[in-house]
Structure 1
Amino acid sequence: MGYEKAVLIPEDGKKEIKVQFNPAEYNLSRSTTYAEKKVLGLDDPFTQYIAGEAETLKITLMFDTYMPPGEKNAEESGSDVRLQTEKIAKLMELDPKKHRPPKVTFRYGSLIFSGVITELNQTFTMFLANGMPVRAKLEVTFRSMGKENTHVPLESPDRTKCRTLYEGQSLWGLAYEEYGDPEKWKEIARENHITNPLQVKPGQVLRLPAL
């Protein structure tokens, strides 16, 4: 099997970007969100699953254009390494047609990760005598987007609407889905004259107030 370089592939059809050096390691992480609520009469708080978080990928990439003195060049030389790192930095710029940065697929061996770049730290570690950077380290964080519009509400939260509770759904879970804040369950309870949030039932229709 031949040596294969890792690549970044923009979704907009632009040319893929091959890394200069494959990463020595990468980190994949994922988490979930839980809400903890104290309930009168219970010794322990009630823990409610809210939602899963998007998976993230973190990698470190190295770029080096430095050329030491040799037979062909009496002095050290090299091109501006920012010409290489800027290709990746541009993947964070807003796409005016999509109103968001482009999705990027990072492919390295069996790893294929699609998402957006949410963080990019550039550290320049070597310079020529004139101050031009010739060596850089990039710490890149990708965040999976999953399916587009999965978490975009079909109705605006600034208008009163109705929702039907499904099996296992709580008021604070509903509040998180609709308002992005589990603490807003109190507003839903007040709107529907609910005194005990643990007594709601599947199939119950609730009014969601405009906030």
Structure 2
Amino acid sequence: MGLTKAKLEIEKEVGMSIIEVLFNPSEYQLTDGASYSEKKIPGLDGPILQYISGDATELSLNLFLDTYVPPAASSLISFGTPKQSTDVSNITKQIADATSIDGSMHRPPKVTFRWGSLNFEGVVTKMNHTYTMFTESGMPVRAKVSLTFKSLISLKDTKRKSPFESPDRTKYRTLRQGMGLWDIANMEYGDPDMWKVIARENGILNPLEVRPGQVVKLPAL
């Protein structure tokens, strides 16, 4: 089996523009994360972290582009056409254009990076291109391109296999050791500030005086 070349597929209004790199990247980095907000609860020493959402997966990599043809090779005939160096910025411009809105689609194009088992579909959020070799006339023929992508997340594809229980019906929960009303509120309603609703429903005047094993009623929203 021959060497598989990495390639970029840039979405067009009709079809794809495919860029095949001469040298495969030596590495790439995938980054995942999550966003949280801090909720300050009266009587606690520190805030409670509230999960907001997962972040889009980020892909970072370097590509090396080369359009240089040595003078000795430029005199050779390939299928009746002399080989000549070409301007590598014609390629980098195609990639740079993927960071801007496409007039026909009214949004930046989707870009897919394919190499081996990696098929990463997303948008280009950052591009840095450095030109490292030039002909005598100043035409760039080699470039290093640093790219950062963010994945495209479909709401349909990211639905949880086990969705949260619905908060629209009354439930009961037992407090465990170290658990407060704000913990229950965060788990059930997604907002620790909703502890006030639970306290009011259960006639609790001081949320710091709840005890392990105590059963609390969670009202429907």
Answer yes or no: same fold by TM over 0.5: yes
Change (3 A) 1:52 1:203: farther
Q: Which stretch has the larger CA shift, 111-120 or 38-47?
A: 38-47
**For residues 124 and 11 of structure 1, what CA distance do their matches in structure 2 show?**
25
Quick check: 1:83 aligned with 2:104?
no
Q: What's the TM-score once normalised by structure 2's chain length? A: 0.65
Q: Which amino acid aligns with 2:135?
A: L
**What residue is the counterpart of 1:19 in the other structure?**
21
Deviations 1:39-83 (A, max 9, x none): 22012221111111000111100011223443756xxx7321111
Which is higher, the Rg of structure 1 or of structure 2? 2
Counterpart CA distance in 2 for 1:133 and 1:204 is 66
- Please tell me whether the aligned partners of residues 25 and 59 of structure 1 are also in contact (alpha carbons under 8 angstroms): yes
Residue 51 of structure 1 pairs with residue 33 of structure 2: no
1:174 is matched with which residue?
Answer: none
- Choose from 140, 145, 161 the match for 1:138: 145
Q: Quick one: which of 149, 167, 170 aligns to 2:188?
A: 167
For the residues of structure 1 that align with 2:104 and 2:151, how far apart are their CA atoms? 20
Query: Structure 1: how far apart are the matches of 2:219 and 2:113?
Result: 43
196, 199, 209: which one aligns with 2:196: 199
Q: Which runs of 4+ in 1 moved over 4 A?
A: 201-205
- Residue-by-residue CA offset, 1:20-56 (whole Å, 9 max, x unaligned): 2211111100110111222220122211111110001
Q: How many residues align?
A: 167
| Secondary structure in 2 matching 1:48 | strand
Letter in 1 for 2:190: Q
Relative to the length of structure 1, the TM-score reads: 0.68
* SS at 1:4 equivalent: coil
Coordinate RMSD, CA, aligned: 2.9
1:116 aligns with 2:129: no
Distance 2:196 2:130 in 1: 55
Give, in angstroms, the shift of residue 125 of structure 1: 1.2
Which residue pairs with 2:79 in the alignment?
none
CA contact (8 A) 1:170 1:200 kept: no
Unaligned runs of 5+ in 1: 151-163, 172-195, 206-211
CA contact (8 A) 2:11 2:17 kept: no
Superposition deviation, residue 133 in structure 1: 1.2
* Residue segments in structure 2 that go unaligned for 5+ positions in a row: 76-83, 158-167, 169-184, 199-217
Q: CA deviation at 1:146?
A: 0.9
